[in-house]
Amino acid sequence: MAEVKARRPRRIPTGQFIRSFLLAKGEEHPSEIHKALHLEYDKFNQGRNRKERLKPPTFHSFLNYLHQMKLFGLVEFSG
């Protein structure tokens, strides 16, 4: 019989998280959104072994993600 491999834990989709966060809270500073994403990863990783934990994106890659969203017209920066 073939051995069944365990599936990798799914990542939290960053774009979907940003969208739902902004719809719920309105305007927010990018660092606050990133902190909230880290907290979501912390909740997701509770009770998992060290090897199974997912790492949240770095702040730099998060800012790159926001920049791409801005280029596509999905978000507007205020201020």
d(CA 53, CA 44): 8
Domain boundaries, the chain: 29-44+55-79
Section 44-58 average pLDDT: 90
Question: Euclidean distance between the first and final Cα of the chain, in Å?
Answer: 61
64 falls in which pLDDT band (50, 70, 90)? very high
Q: Flag whether pLDDT at 77 surpasses 80.
A: yes
Tokens coding 79: 């201020």
**6 CA to centre of own chain:** 23
Section 47-75 average pLDDT: 92
pLDDT of residue 25: 94
Long-range pairs of 54-60 with CB within 8 A, sequence gap ≥ 24: 54/9, 54/11, 54/12, 56/12, 57/14, 59/31, 59/34
pTM of the predicted model, to two decimals? 0.81
Section 44-68 average pLDDT: 92
